[in-house]
Structure 1
Amino acid sequence: MATERLACQTFTWEMLGDGWTGGPDDLVEAIAAAGYEGIEITDTMIGHYADRPDAFAKRLDEAGLALAAFAYGSDGGFSEPDLAEADYEACRKWADFAARFPGAVLSMGSATAMSEGPRADKIGRAADIYNHSAKIARAAGVDLALHPSSHENTLLFDKADYDRIFSLLDDTVGWVPDTGHILRGGQDLLATFGDFAHRIRYVHLKDVTAEGTWAMLGAGVCDVAAVLDAAKRAPRFNGWIVVEEESDEAGKDPANAVRRNFETMRALTQA
């Protein structure tokens, strides 16, 4: 059973858009100061370290952080065949980057509808892109996992979408279950964890209200203790619980929000 470790996702700052004027060093500083052991950073937020993995490794080491995962997105939503080669090139680039950090997982964003057309066909094309990307990542020595979402135009929202995509994926493609997105999709959280437990590599933990509005961790309907127990029983879970925050409170003060979430997690795990 993997030892549980807490990391923080940088989307809490990324969602601010033009309201965020800092850089990756500010993210590292805030996440380390909050008490986390690791960080999951995205292609959007990596900034001046994008072509300097050794320098980023040094910066993380100075801050006492590990790279839990590196996440990237796609202009084609991982579903447009004309843009698949760009997706593969991005995978090569970021797999090579992540390979500098032993144990870091490469996370691909949710398949998204970028044009008109049958939903099932788009999910099928996304599966092809995920499968081929996993081969590219494996060649670099990196584990790859899929991160479905509930955001606008996602193709991976409800149970039917999950069943379809996972039925089409090779066993080598992992999964990053995101508690907030699963709940917003109307799914049974623990049943979904159980159905695809063999794919779980690490977990995104965040909370929502019963109405699906983002909430601070512990203020919504997510059963955090049950999620932690389910993750620990997944055979390929690597131990990383990546806490992510998208609530209004985070929009006002991201650093304080992620610090509060760390305190919430520590209170839960030490109870």
Structure 2
Amino acid sequence: MTDLRIGCQTYTWEMLGDGFAGGADDLLDAIAAGGYEGIEITDAMIGAYSGAPDAFARALEARGLTLVSLAVASRSGFTEAGEVEADVETARRWIDFLARFPKAVLSMGSATVMSDGPREAKFRVAAEVYNRAAALGSTMGVGVAVHPSSHHDTLLFSRADYDALFALLDAETVGWVPDTGHILRGRMDMLDTLRAHAPRIRHLHLKDVDVDGTWAMLGHGACDVGAAVEVVRAAPRFTGWVVLEEESDDAAADPAGAVRTNRETLRRLLS
């Protein structure tokens, strides 16, 4: 079994919008203080470091953190045919950035419906973007993966959606960052879904929801944390990183406190 390393995703702060007035260094400080080894930062939260990979590497090293992944989104939802070239170019720029960080993954956000049109066409556009980005990543030694979401207008909500997209993606180059919370909100069988596409798994997003699909602090919802981790640990290309992310009301009130509590909870759940 692969040894586990634990990271933290920065969306916990990003979701606050104007309610968060800090910067990337504040996130690094909070995550390091919370007991994490690694960080998955979003393109929206990396701030001034976006054009300065060497400076970001020094900031991480000073806090004993490893960059697990950089998560990117697009206003096109990766589903607009007229935006394919722009989306691929954005991916290329971040791949160049990540080449500075050994084994860090480019996590591309969920294909999302942004305009009218047949769903089948949107799946094809998203697949083109993901496949081309992954091909670029391969030339630079940077892994690329898809991170499905259950948020509004996602194209990747149900198991049928996952299966439809993955059937269009190159099996060797395009990875998957599964998210337990989003899988459960899609009313899927979490463990069966993880097993079905295990060869694509690069790292795991661990989140919890209650039976109604409302975000909950880790260990307070319907997610069988131990079982999910064991399935992922057996995946052939799993990097060993489990990334905690928190979107509950508790996190909105005190993001640093919430991620610190989740880290303590995971220690207890996996002991």
Could you tell me the TM-score, scaled by structure 1's length?
0.99
Q: Does the residue aligned with 2:40 lie in a helix, a strand or coil?
A: strand
Quote the offset at 1:2 in angstroms: 2.4
Q: Which runs of 5+ in 2 are unaligned?
A: none
CA–CA distance in 1 between the matches of 2:88 and 2:169? 16
Query: Matches of residues 27-38 of structure 1 in structure 2 within 5 Å?
Result: 27-38=27-38
Indicate the larger mover: 141-150 or 116-125. 116-125
CA–CA distance in 1 between the matches of 2:248 and 2:89? 33
1:83 match: 83
The amino acid across from 1:203 in the alignment is L
CA–CA distance in 1 between the matches of 2:110 and 2:196? 19
Q: 1:147-169 CA distances to partner (integer Å, 9 max, x unpaired)?
A: 00000010000011011001110
Q: 1:52-75 CA distances to partner (integer Å, 9 max, x unpaired)?
A: 000000000000000000110111
Indicate the larger mover: 119-128 or 103-112. 119-128
Query: Matches of residues 7-22 of structure 1 in structure 2 within 5 Å?
Result: 7-22=7-22
Q: Does the residue aligned with 1:174 lie in a helix, a strand or coil?
A: strand
Query: Matches of residues 140-151 of structure 1 in structure 2 within 5 Å?
Result: 140-151=140-151
The amino acid across from 2:222 in the alignment is V
Q: 1:171-222 CA distances to partner (integer Å, 9 max, x unpaired)?
A: 1100000000000001000000010000000000000000000000000000
CA–CA distance in 1 between the matches of 2:240 and 2:87? 28
1:246 match: 247
CA–CA distance in 1 between the matches of 2:182 and 2:233? 20
Q: 1:104-145 CA distances to partner (integer Å, 9 max, x unpaired)?
A: 011000000110011122112111111111111112210000
Indicate the larger mover: 29-38 or 115-124. 115-124
CA–CA distance in 2 between the matches of 1:264 and 1:51? 35
Quote the offset at 1:89 in angstroms: 1.1
Q: Does the residue aligned with 2:165 lie in a helix, a strand or coil?
A: helix
1:206 match: 207
Query: Matches of residues 36-55 of structure 1 in structure 2 within 5 Å?
Result: 36-55=36-55
Q: Does the residue aligned with 1:130 lie in a helix, a strand or coil?
A: helix
The amino acid across from 1:141 in the alignment is G
Extract structure 1 runs of 4+ deviating beyond 2 A. Answer: none
1:191 match: 192
Q: Does the residue aligned with 2:167 lie in a helix, a strand or coil?
A: helix
Q: 1:230-250 CA distances to partner (integer Å, 9 max, x unpaired)?
A: 011100000000000000000
1:152 match: 152
Q: Quote the RMSD (CA, aligned, Å).
A: 0.7
1:223 match: 224
Could you tell me the TM-score, scaled by structure 2's length?
0.99
Q: Is the 8 A contact 2:2 2:234 kept in 1?
A: no
The amino acid across from 1:113 in the alignment is V
Q: 1:29-66 CA distances to partner (integer Å, 9 max, x unpaired)?
A: 00000000000001000001010000000000000000
CA–CA distance in 1 between the matches of 2:140 and 2:71? 16
Indicate whether 1:255 and 2:251 are aligned.
no
Indicate whether 1:95 and 2:95 are aligned.
yes
Indicate the larger mover: 237-246 or 135-144. 135-144
1:66 match: 66
